[in-house]
Structure 1
Amino acid sequence: MSRLDSMLRRLTAQRDGLNWAVAQISDIDGDVLDMGLGNGRTYDHLREIMPDRRIWVMDRVLQCHPSSTPPAQDFLQGEAEPMLRKLAAGGPKIVLAHYDFGRGIKEEDVAEAARLSPLIAQVMRPGGLLISGQPLVGFEQISGPDTIAPDRYLFYRA
């Protein structure tokens, strides 16, 4: 599979997974967390499909497209560990989290996701959903939408 085809497959899975998750959490109060702002495409999609929810965003630097810049009060800039601790200080409030940290080196990305998983658990409301391109630990893995290959995107319940 070409890198272009792989990217298209990943982005389609991400979009389909987020759309599916919104329907799953419709009756649970809470905020949303986008871990890894990047260019801001996922954040832009989240605010379109969940306009009434607060969407927290975290990344090391703010370098997204200008049209996808989150409000300053919702952007947690810095390394993941202190930002997750800061968010956790207010108690578990996240009902949907999207995990998209990584540098593209599989072994390092998997290790980072495992290391951050206990901190992510501290911000999640019971019954909340996590969607991730990397395996997370300590959560119940569930099946996502049928349109997504099981190895393409991972779905978890807190």
Structure 2
Amino acid sequence: MSRLDSMMRRLAAQRDGLEWGHAMVGDTAGDYVDMGLGNGRTYDHLREIAPDRRIWVIDRILQCHPSCVPPEKDFLQGEAEEMLIKLAGSGSKIVLAHYDFGFGEKEKDVAEAARLSPLIGACMAPGGVLISGQPLVGFEQVRGPETVAPDRYCFYKV
């Protein structure tokens, strides 16, 4: 598979996964979190499908498209571990989380996701959903949308 095809498949999985997660959450009260802002595409999509939700964003640096800058009060800038601890301590009830942190090295990315999993769990409300580009540990893995190959993206219930 070409890198272009792989990227298109990843972006479609993100979109379909976010929409699946949003439908799974339904009217359950709580906030969303996008871990790994990057260019801001997934954050922008979350804003579009969930305009009435508070969407927290975590990233080391703010370098997204100007149209995708989150409100300052919702942007937790810094290292993932510290920001997840801060989010858990905020009292917010996270019902949907999208995990997209990464270094671009598969082994390192998988290890980081496993290391951060307990901190992510501390932020999540019971019954919440996680959509992740990397395998997470300590959550119940479920089948996500039928449009996403099981090896492309991971889906979990808390």
TM-score class, shorter-chain normalisation, is over 0.9
Q: CA deviation at 1:91?
A: 3.3
Letter in 2 for 1:141: Q
| 1:94 match | 94
Letter in 2 for 1:44: D
Stretches of structure 1 that go unaligned for 5 or more consecutive residues are none
Letter in 1 for 2:154: L
| 1:129 match | 129
The SS at the match of 1:156 is strand
TM-score (norm 1): 0.98
Q: CA deviation at 1:27?
A: 2.6
| 1:73 match | 73
| Alpha-carbon distance between aligned partners in 2 of 1:54 and 1:71, rounded to the nearest angstrom | 10
| Alpha-carbon distance between aligned partners in 2 of 1:49 and 1:77, rounded to the nearest angstrom | 24
| Alpha-carbon distance between aligned partners in 1 of 2:99 and 2:44, rounded to the nearest angstrom | 15
Distance change (3 Å), C-alpha of 1:139 and 1:92? farther
Stretches of structure 2 that go unaligned for 5 or more consecutive residues are none
What whole-Å deviation, never above 9, does each CA across 1:51-70 have from its counterpart, x for those lacking one? 00000000000000000000
Aligned length: 158
User: Over aligned residues, Cα RMSD in angstroms?
Assistant: 0.7
Q: Equivalent residues in 2 for 1:19-34 (5 A)?
A: 19-34=19-34
| Alpha-carbon distance between aligned partners in 1 of 2:148 and 2:78, rounded to the nearest angstrom | 32
| Alpha-carbon distance between aligned partners in 1 of 2:85 and 2:91, rounded to the nearest angstrom | 10
TM-score (norm 2): 0.98
Q: CA deviation at 1:92?
A: 5.5
